[in-house]
Chains A and B, each alone.
Chain A
Amino acid sequence: MLKKIGLEKLDALASALMERGELFAPVAGDAGVDFQRIDNPGDVTLDFYNTLRSPKEVFFPQADDMVRYRLTHDGVETEEIPLDFEPRIILGVRPCDVRSFEVMDRLFAGGDIVDPYWEERRKSTTIIGYAFDRVDPADFYTTFGIGAADPTGSDIFMIKGEGDLFLKGITERGEELLGSISVLEDVSPENEGYFEEKIAESARLETRILATEGVPEKLEAVFEDPYWIEAAAPCLNCGVCTYVCPTCHCFDIQDETLFGKGARRRIWDSCMFTDFTLHTSGHNPRTKKSQRLRQRICHKFSYYVTNFDVVSCVGCGRCIRSCPVHIDIMAVVEGAAALP
């Protein structure tokens, strides 16, 4: 089913979606556009190339309470955070980011042990994808077979036309949601044609392409090459790349207490930080920044492939755009792959 709505009525669409669940959508903030939980439908914007941070926070918040507790004189009272999440809708996710959810599913929802925090949120969320209409020089998602107007993984897929927003149901869940929103208008056959044309047009957008063939094995082979020292020389070892990344998933578990009340939380961590691997004894297996950069690259382009059969990168370009020293992850991988 294809529906449309005037761009000026975006807030009406947002309100209608909010009636069907908790809505997460792009909002223009002080630092740029980012996904936020929407309280005011007027806050939603679709004027952005891509969000500053990835939408992973909808399923994997930077700080996520698992157990709240209260320390008492004779022990502790605990309360598990319930995992029965209300239905959620995430609007305006670019195709590469939609793919990132599937990449992360393999870690969090695959294997013997399922991560319930990811899994339950994921199950309760309807995804409204949003086609790119141009290409940023930092992106390289075409590498992973992701199209600029690729509806794979979205429940509803959306493109912006001249004055109108077109929404197409992709999955049953998406169709159902789409059918239930009365502010949406039916489309004419011309609209259908226009939509298909736009999709085809976007599909022709191509980003840079990283040659990934043989990379996982190559990275293992060049593990001890001095290349990493050179590649990491400009790196500041801050955590920006890992925090804006849609597929970085490393976390810490911390008990944070104030006045006897607190929570056991999981909090994003970063392999770029020195203390990430610091043992209590003071021993640290990764004391050099070349080791940490190598870990990030190898984890994404080699280890993850070994373990989950997919590269843990979708080529969204965020880490490149946000890196204070302009490190291009694609160039780093290419450099390693080109080593003799």
Chain B
Amino acid sequence: MVAERNEEKHTVGFEPRILGIACNWCTYTGADLAGTTRVQYPHNIRVARVMCSSRINPSFIFRAFELGADGILVGGCHPGDCHYSTGNYYARRKLAVTKKILEFAGLEPERFRVEWISASEGNRYAEIVREFTEEIRALGPQTRLAMGRDTEG
């Protein structure tokens, strides 16, 4: 049974649920740095670690949105800095196409963001998470791919 669609935005008291997918070598380390240096950023993001941004299967993104993610932030090494030399160049193409697909399906493209964040950019990581969280907060809950269902289980 398909749950009834609920496009109503419950912006009051809405806390975005954001999935972060970070590469092991740069962004995840950057996120760690933000933590260890006690830079404050919203708790709305839950980060999953992958070895390289090119490991991200676009199905992860589709599925996460279906499961109720309000926003997804992918982080990889800056182009040229990939631990595996060229992984993030492939990732750039893959994630660009993924984004176009989401957009053409009718999802707000702003809900999917890719950033290159190095291991030393703890502050920038926190800054991006802050900014992204506020953007998603303004967009309201993601109800399209999540089909407006109660995702609290």
Binding site for B on A (CB under 8 A): 258-261
* A-B CB contacts (within 8 Å), total count: 6
Which residues in A have their C-beta under 8 angstroms from that of B151? Answer: 259
Which residues in B have their C-beta under 8 angstroms from that of A258? Answer: 67
Quote the shortest CB–CB distance from B79 to chain A (angstroms).
37
Among residues of A, the one whose C-beta sits closest to the C-beta of B150 is A259
Mark interface residues in B110-153 (1 if CB within 8 Å of A CB, else 0).
00000000000000000000000000000000000000000111
A259 to B147 Cα, complex, angstroms: 14
Among residues of B, the one whose C-beta sits closest to the C-beta of A70 is B153
Task: Write 6 A-B pairs (CB below 8 A) sorted by A numbering.
Answer: A258-B67, A259-B151, A259-B152, A259-B153, A260-B153, A261-B153
A257 to B18 Cα, complex, angstroms: 22
Mark interface residues in B72-105 (1 if CB within 8 Å of A CB, else 0).
0000000000000000000000000000000000
Binding site for A on B (CB under 8 A): 67, 151-153
Among residues of A, the one whose C-beta sits closest to the C-beta of B152 is A259
A76 to B151 Cα, complex, angstroms: 19
Among residues of A, the one whose C-beta sits closest to the C-beta of B3 is A258
Which residues in B have their C-beta under 8 angstroms from that of A260? Answer: 153
A259 to B153 Cα, complex, angstroms: 5
A260 to B153 Cα, complex, angstroms: 7
A260 to B151 Cα, complex, angstroms: 11
Among residues of B, the one whose C-beta sits closest to the C-beta of A65 is B1
A261 to B152 Cα, complex, angstroms: 11
Quote the shortest CB–CB distance from A4 to chain B (angstroms).
39
A260 to B67 Cα, complex, angstroms: 12
A258 to B2 Cα, complex, angstroms: 12
A224 to B23 Cα, complex, angstroms: 55
A261 to B1 Cα, complex, angstroms: 12
Quote the shortest CB–CB distance from B68 to chain A (angstroms).
9
Quote the shortest CB–CB distance from A260 to chain B (angstroms).
5
Q: Sorted from nearest, which 6 A-B pairs have the closest CB atoms?
A: A259-B153, A260-B153, A259-B151, A261-B153, A259-B152, A258-B67
Interface centre among A259, A260, A261 (most CB of B within 10 A): A259
Among residues of A, the one whose C-beta sits closest to the C-beta of B66 is A258
Quote the shortest CB–CB distance from A63 to chain B (angstroms).
9
Among residues of B, the one whose C-beta sits closest to the C-beta of A71 is B153
Quote the shortest CB–CB distance from B151 to chain A (angstroms).
7
Quote the shortest CB–CB distance from A197 to chain B (angstroms).
47
A258 to B3 Cα, complex, angstroms: 12
Which residues in A have their C-beta under 8 angstroms from that of B152? Answer: 259
Among residues of B, the one whose C-beta sits closest to the C-beta of A261 is B153
Which residues in B have their C-beta under 8 angstroms from that of A261? Answer: 153
Among residues of A, the one whose C-beta sits closest to the C-beta of B68 is A259
Quote the shortest CB–CB distance from A67 to chain B (angstroms).
15
A82 to B152 Cα, complex, angstroms: 27
A12 to B152 Cα, complex, angstroms: 44
A260 to B73 Cα, complex, angstroms: 26
Quote the shortest CB–CB distance from B38 to chain A (angstroms).
34
Quote the shortest CB–CB distance from A262 to chain B (angstroms).
11
Quote the shortest CB–CB distance from A34 to chain B (angstroms).
17
Interface centre among B67, B151, B153 (most CB of A within 10 A): B153
Which residues in A have their C-beta under 8 angstroms from that of B153? Answer: 259-261
Which residues in A have their C-beta under 8 angstroms from that of B67? Answer: 258
Quote the shortest CB–CB distance from A26 to chain B (angstroms).
22
A261 to B151 Cα, complex, angstroms: 11
Quote the shortest CB–CB distance from A254 to chain B (angstroms).
15
A29 to B35 Cα, complex, angstroms: 55
Quote the shortest CB–CB distance from A330 to chain B (angstroms).
37
A259 to B67 Cα, complex, angstroms: 9
Quote the shortest CB–CB distance from A61 to chain B (angstroms).
11
A260 to B152 Cα, complex, angstroms: 10
A232 to B153 Cα, complex, angstroms: 47
Quote the shortest CB–CB distance from A156 to chain B (angstroms).
31
Quote the shortest CB–CB distance from A70 to chain B (angstroms).
10
A258 to B152 Cα, complex, angstroms: 11
Quote the shortest CB–CB distance from B113 to chain A (angstroms).
25
Quote the shortest CB–CB distance from B65 to chain A (angstroms).
14
